[in-house]
Amino acid sequence: MSKSLLIISRQPPWSGPTAREALDIALAGGAFDLPIGMLFLDDGVFQLSTAQQPATLQQKDLGANLQALPMFGVEALYASTRSLQERGLERQKLNLAVELLDDAGLTALVARYDQVITL
Amino acid sequence: MKFAIALFAPPHAPSSRRALRFAQAVLAGGHEIVRLFFYQDGVHSASSNVISPQDELDLTGEWRDFVRTQRLDGVVCIAAALRRGVLDTQEAQRYAAGSANLQAPWELSGLGQLHEATQQADRLVCFGGS
Amino acid sequence: MTTLHMLSHSPFSDSRLSSCLRLLGPGDGLLLCGDAVYALQPGSAQCQALELMPESIGLFALDEDLSARAIAGPQRLQAVDYPGMVELSCRFDKVNSWL
């Protein structure tokens, strides 16, 4: 049985390649049919904000690439309620279907996975 | 126990040295290292172009010697490497780039190698950031 | 499953420690390396927060980073060397580094 891997993505969409490189780990795992989960925490929740205009920074649209997650079989997607609230995003529509978790939910989530990478 | 060790930081970051000392302790403790996987800025820790002053630690040299002497599988993520200008001879030729700065014992490969190592190992330990 | 959380950033300019503290589960461990050992600076709110963690959470720090910065840490702290760090990574079910 495959080991499950949780990727915790904490960076905003365009602070260097980290957000994209976290996503790449998830997509690669999905491509190999591995049990992958992805949690958006702290500034990582900014990746979920809609109506972003990456082209003005000559960046690729990370939000569009996030849509590939379910297509690669990565459907265990989560975001921290606290992180969203701290950033005034709790009432906004998000660009990805994620399960919202409070702190206790996050603790339980991390405990469930066999491996974790936080970047 | 079997370890997969991933490095996300360049050689001047303290975490690169910490990762090496940890890897050395893993082997000294009788455990096995399934793979070393260098990702993000960790690709610079495999560069053959990092020149350290004589009175400073030559960390890329130490990493290289460690992988060679212990016959470890040292993999550098190709996508992360290209983006940061770390190329082996093949990629340097493919892109008509300046020169190659990644040599044996390091090998360029994909994230699949990180996932494979994570599946094979009992423990995945990542080093990076600061 | 228990997790050994590894931190290496100073908590005074960074949110990793506070986010990590909220995620810790009973029986987890916290290993401070590099600049993260500044969290043990006596008299700091960070050190207080670490001392107030439930007893079931192990608090560890890399000895070389403590000595380099001349930080002793509170009573509950266990300093470890690299072999000790390897032992910790075997003791807990998985390791989560806050990169």
* Residue B108 and residue B92 in contact, taking contact as beta carbons nearer than 8 Å: no
CA geometry: angle A20, B95, B49, nearest 5 deg: 80
**Element holding C84 (H helix, E strand):** helix C82-91
- Choose, out of A41, A106, A107, A112, the residue to mutate when testing the contact with C (most C CBs < 10 Å): A107
Question: Is the pLDDT confidence value at B98 over 90?
Answer: no
Q: Report chain B residues whose CB lies below 8 A from the CB of A34.
A: 115, 119
Q: State whether residue A113 sits within 8 Å of chain C by CB.
A: yes
Least confident of A85-94, A109-118, B59-68, C28-37: A85-94
**pLDDT value of position A91:** 85
* Residue A106 and residue A10 in contact, taking contact as beta carbons nearer than 8 Å: no
Identify the bridge partners of residue A39 per DSSP, sorted by sequence position.
Answer: A8, A78
CA count, 13 A, side-chain hemisphere, C74 = 18
A 10 A CB-CB count for A37 gives 22
Q: Report chain C residues whose CB lies below 8 A from the CB of B124.
A: 94-95
CATH number, domain with residue A37: 3.40.1260.10
Q: Verify whether residue B77 is a known catalytic residue.
A: yes
Fold observed for domain B2-127: Hypothetical Protein Ychn; Chain: A, (3.40.1260)
Average pLDDT over residues C65-73: 97
pLDDT classification of B65: cutoffs 50, 70, 90: very high
Q: Report chain B residues whose CB lies below 8 A from the CB of A29.
A: 111, 115
% of chain B with per-residue pLDDT over 90: 96
Average pLDDT over residues B67-83: 97
* Residue A5 and residue A36 in contact, taking contact as beta carbons nearer than 8 Å: yes
- Write the DSSP symbol of residue B37: E
Q: What is the CA radius of gyration of chain A?
A: 14
Which residue of C8, C85, C99 is in closest CB contact with B25? C85
Q: Tell me how far apart the alpha carbons of residues A23 and A36 are, in angstroms, rounded to a whole number.
A: 11
A 10 A CB-CB count for A97 gives 10
Dig out the tokens for C39 from the structure: 């969290």
The pLDDT mean for chain A works out to 95
Q: Tell me how far apart the alpha carbons of residues C79 and C63 are, in angstroms, rounded to a whole number.
A: 5
Identify the bridge partners of residue B74 per DSSP, sorted by sequence position.
Answer: B36
In which domain, by residue range, is A94 found? Answer: 5-118
* Pick from A28, A27, A16: nearest CA to B109: A28
pLDDT classification of A51: cutoffs 50, 70, 90: confident
- Choose, out of A21, A42, A59, A60, the residue to mutate when testing the contact with B (most B CBs < 10 Å): A21
- Residues B18, C35: C-beta atoms closer than 8 Å: no
* Residue B2 and residue B84 in contact, taking contact as beta carbons nearer than 8 Å: no
Q: Tell me how far apart the alpha carbons of residues C45 and C61 are, in angstroms, rounded to a whole number.
A: 18
* Residue C98 and residue A39 in contact, taking contact as beta carbons nearer than 8 Å: no
Q: How many CB pairs under 8 A join A and B?
A: 36
**pLDDT value of position C60:** 98
pLDDT classification of C12: cutoffs 50, 70, 90: very high
Question: Is the pLDDT confidence value at B130 over 70?
Answer: no
**pLDDT value of position C87:** 98
% of chain C with per-residue pLDDT over 70: 100
Question: Is the pLDDT confidence value at C78 over 70?
Answer: yes
Question: Is the pLDDT confidence value at A72 over 90?
Answer: yes
Question: Is the pLDDT confidence value at A105 over 70?
Answer: yes
* Pick from A112, A116, A83: nearest CA to A100: A83
Q: State whether residue A5 sits within 8 Å of chain C by CB.
A: no
* Pick from B47, B24, B31: nearest CA to B101: B47
Q: Where are the domains of chain B?
A: 2-127
Query: Which one of the listed residues B6, B19, B77, B117 is annotated catalytic?
Result: B77
The nearest alpha carbon in chain A to B121 belongs to: A3
**pLDDT value of position B27:** 98
- Residues A41, C98: C-beta atoms closer than 8 Å: no
The nearest alpha carbon in chain B to C36 belongs to: B130
Does the predicted model carry a pTM greater than 0.90? yes
Strand-pair category, B123-127 with B107-109: unpaired
Q: How many domains does chain A have?
A: 1
* Residue B60 and residue B48 in contact, taking contact as beta carbons nearer than 8 Å: yes
Question: Is the pLDDT confidence value at C2 over 90?
Answer: yes
| ipTM reported for the complex surpasses 0.95 | yes
Domain C3-98, CATH class in plain words: alpha beta
Q: Report chain C residues whose CB lies below 8 A from the CB of A42.
A: 15, 19
**pLDDT value of position A52:** 87
